Every structure is written in structure tokens, then in C-alpha cells.
Amino acid sequence: MGPGPVDADPRVLRAMAASLVGQFDPFMTDTMNETMALWRTVWRTENEQTFLVDGTSRAGIEAALVSLLEPGDRVLVPVFGRFGHLLAEISARAGAEVHTIEAPWGEVFEPDQIADAVRRVRPKVLAVVHGDTSTTMAQPLEALGAIAREHDALLYVDATASLGGNSFETDAWGVDVATAGLQKCLGGPSGSAPVTVSVRAAALIRARKHVEAGIRSADDIDHGARIASNYLDLAQVMDYWGPRRLNHHTEATSMLYAARECARLLAVEGMDAAIARHALHGGAMLAGVRGLGLEVFGDVAHKMHNVVAVAIPDGVDGDAVRGALLSDFGLEIGTSFGSLHGKVWRIGTMGHNARRDAVLVTLAALEQALRRAGVPVPPGGGVDAALGVYESATAGVVA
């Protein structure tokens, strides 16, 4: 019940045990095409270029940034948590001129703040984290595509922590490139990075010179245009997933099966239903921790559905409580990074763990662990508050 990675859906785990097939077997081609179609449903996009990068969510981020950014290009990163710093760091390694604006941890940006910065910096790429688990905040993105287009910038979004549990509209919001990982709301294991690329971003990436086998020296390559990575060169990865199936890496077939199953389960449930499920169980967890008398960190109106940051009560050893939850109750909740380290726990309700029983048993165990740590807690306060949310939701459905 931490901020991710979380338990994978057992159906996803079983999907990985399926037999492998050859990389150019017709079944493999069909599976790749089906996977692309299923992920278009998850991403809410018509983008033909919707595929997987074979690595963790971080590989997807780096593939997007190293493929979009040439050395010296300007990138603007609005930073409101740890993963904004990661986007800045990866962009700097790609040789970009990195500009950041920062919001205090626990807050998000107003669209005008971002628009002002875009106007000032004139970036080639506006690179934004959607949901940052380090603070639990979700940056509203609805207005950013138009802001980027108005200033001829591309919008890149890291949707790792949010996708599947919070609204995400690739096409309607004008997102050019978005990447994710399976290990948060999508119900799978880390190790595959779903990516979607708009027509204009794909054209920009394709225009960068391919470096083919036979290159002998860096001098043979146009330094400005070349993509510094072979493995994460999205121009080549798109050709691999495209109708020509040009050989690149050897697809990680078991992770492909996992990614297909994650998307299939979401498509069957329906994206709206999956997001509503995360809203419901996240709301119950929020009510529950408050029912235990705990304070919640940050601007709750902009919190992701799938994670809540809970202030560790004064005088309590946060790691000892986490340790007791794990060793005595078999439940993991998260610690925190940076300025929040030692100040909050992060409790997730995402993917396969966005379930009523998972919420209630976590609140029941947390009550016991807090009581034993000397925190005065109202008996049943957490579970009762969560059940109240569930009863209201059911009443709403009945009405």
C-alpha cells in the first residue's frame, strides 16, 4: 500500500508466464499491433505511434527527452516535486539548456505561471510531470497543450504515477509525447514503459538523422541532429513497432505480455470506471486517515486519487511504525524523499490495490500500529470514516 511499485494484478503476473514466440512470428506481430491498439484506449489517443519502450518508466522518460532534445535546445521544466528534478537532470545530460520554475512541495502551478515561463524561455519542449508521488500532487494539464502550441513548443508529460487512476487525455489536452510505467495505477510490474507520440512529435524525431550500422566515428555524424542513444532512439523504436518491423532491440516479450494484459484489463473495465475506482478508494483512504486524527500534507484539491501523504505525528518514529506494519501486518506504506523525509508517510491506493478490502485492512492495521506507538487514536475512527465514504457512494449510485 505504498506509492508504487505495488502488487500487480494476478492476471498480469499469469500473463507473463505465457510461452515466447519468435520476434517475427505472425503471432508476435499481431500481439504487438493489438498492444498498440489497447494502449491507445488507455492513453485516449488516436496516435499511431503508441508503443512500449523496453525498460522501466525512467527509460521511457529518457527515450522521450533524448529523442526530442538536441544539444543546446531549450527545455522548460515546471518542478513541483522530485520527478521534476529528474526531468531536468535527464534533459541536462542530453545537452539541453534547462530552465525550471519551482512550486513549493505540496502545491501545483497555475496555468498562467507556466504560460509566463513559456513566453519568457521559448522552449522547444515543455516537460511536465503529471502526478508526482513525492508530493502526491497532480499538475492540471488541460491548458498546457494550447500554451505549448501557441509558442511552438512540444508538450512532454511523464504520466507514470497518474495514468489509469486520474483523468489523462492525450489528444484532447494536446500532449505531444507521454510516457508511463506499469507499476502504479496500471496494475503491472515495473519494466515496460508505454509511450505515445503525436504526429508532429514523430515527424520531428524522424527528421533527426538516423545513425546506421557502418558509422565509424563520431565525426561521421551530424552532432546537432544525432540522437545520443541507440537503445532509446525513438526513431528506431518507432520503425521497430511500425509496419516495416525494422530490427532494433529484441522485444522483451514477457513484459509485452504484461503490458498488453494491463491495458486489456483497463479497456474491459473502461477508463472512466478505472479512474472512478481510484477516486473512490483514494477518497476512502483520505477520509480514513483523517478519521484516525492524522493530518494530510499538501493541497488536497490537487492530490492524485491514488496516493495520500500523511503527516507523521510529533514524537513518532515513522520508520518504526512502517516496520511494524510490514513485519506484523504484512503491509507496506511508503517513506518520503527530500524535504518531506521523516515528516510524512505515503499511502497508496492504486492499480490492483485500489480495493475496499485493501483500504479497510490498511486502516485497521494503521490504527493498531499508531496505538502501540503511543498515538491517541479514536478506536474505529479510520475504518468508520472510510465505510462512510463507501456508503455515500453506494447511496449515490442507488439514488
Site for a copy of itself in 22-51 (CB under 8 A): 22-25
**Based on CB atoms, which residue is closest to a copy of itself, 221 or 311?**
221
Query: How buried is residue 114: exposed, middle or buried, by Cβ count under 10 Å (0-12/13-18/19+)?
Result: buried
Question: How far is residue 264's CA from residue 347's CA, in Å, rounded to a whole number?
Answer: 26
**Based on CB atoms, which residue is closest to a copy of itself, 173 or 345?**
345
Question: How far is residue 369's CA from residue 382's CA, in Å, rounded to a whole number?
Answer: 13
Stretch that binds a copy of itself, among 148-156, 184-192, 299-307, 391-399 (CB under 8 A): 184-192
Classified as helix, coil or strand, 17 is coil
**Based on CB atoms, which residue is closest to a copy of itself, 315 or 327?**
327
Binding mask 308-347 for a copy of itself (x = CB under 8 A): ------------------x-----x--x-x----------
> How many residues form the binding site for a copy of itself (CB under 8 A)?
78
> Nearest distance from residue 173's CB to a copy of itself, in Å?
26
CA–centroid distance for 193 within its chain: 10
Question: Which residues in the 231-260 window bind a copy of itself by CB under 8 A?
Answer: 231-232, 247-255, 258
Residue 158 bridge partners (DSSP): 129, 179
Binding mask 131-160 for a copy of itself (x = CB under 8 A): ------------------------------
> Nearest distance from residue 89's CB to a copy of itself, in Å?
5
Out of 114, 148, 159, 227, name the contact with a copy of itself by CB under 8 A.
227
Stretch that binds a copy of itself, among 5-13, 164-172, 299-307, 373-381 (CB under 8 A): 5-13
Classified as helix, coil or strand, 98 is strand
* 218 is a contact residue toward a copy of itself (CB under 8 A): yes
Enter the DSSP assignment of 73.
-
* 4 is a contact residue toward a copy of itself (CB under 8 A): yes
Is 346 annotated for ligand binding?
Answer: yes
* 183 is a contact residue toward a copy of itself (CB under 8 A): yes
Q: What angle do CA 7, 307, 291 make, to 5 degrees?
A: 110
CA distances for 367 relative to 193, 214, 311, 329, 360, angstroms: 36, 64, 14, 12, 11
Nearest to 131 by CA among 186, 54, 66: 186
Question: How far is residue 246's CA from residue 31's CA, in Å, rounded to a whole number?
Answer: 16
Question: Which residues in the 52-71 window bind a copy of itself by CB under 8 A?
Answer: 54-59, 62, 66, 71
Residue type, 15: A
Out of 29, 151, 169, 221, name the contact with a copy of itself by CB under 8 A.
221
Query: Cis link prior to 26 (omega < 30° from 0)?
Result: no
> Nearest distance from residue 236's CB to a copy of itself, in Å?
10
For 293-349, give the DSSP string.
Answer: T--B-S-GGGB-TTEEEEEPPTT--HHHHHHHHHHHH----B---GGGTTTEEEEE-
Question: Which residues in the 354-373 window bind a copy of itself by CB under 8 A?
Answer: none
* 120 is a contact residue toward a copy of itself (CB under 8 A): no
**Based on CB atoms, which residue is closest to a copy of itself, 48 or 102?**
102
Question: How far is residue 161's CA from residue 56's CA, in Å, rounded to a whole number?
Answer: 13
> Nearest distance from residue 334's CB to a copy of itself, in Å?
8
Pairing type for strands 307-311 and 344-348 reads antiparallel
**Based on CB atoms, which residue is closest to a copy of itself, 312 or 375?**
312
Question: How far is residue 262's CA from residue 283's CA, in Å, rounded to a whole number?
Answer: 23
Enter the DSSP assignment of 123.
-
* 307 is a contact residue toward a copy of itself (CB under 8 A): no
Binding mask 255-294 for a copy of itself (x = CB under 8 A): x--x------------------------------------
Q: Which residues are known binding-site members for substrate?
A: 346
Q: Which residues are known binding-site members?
A: 346
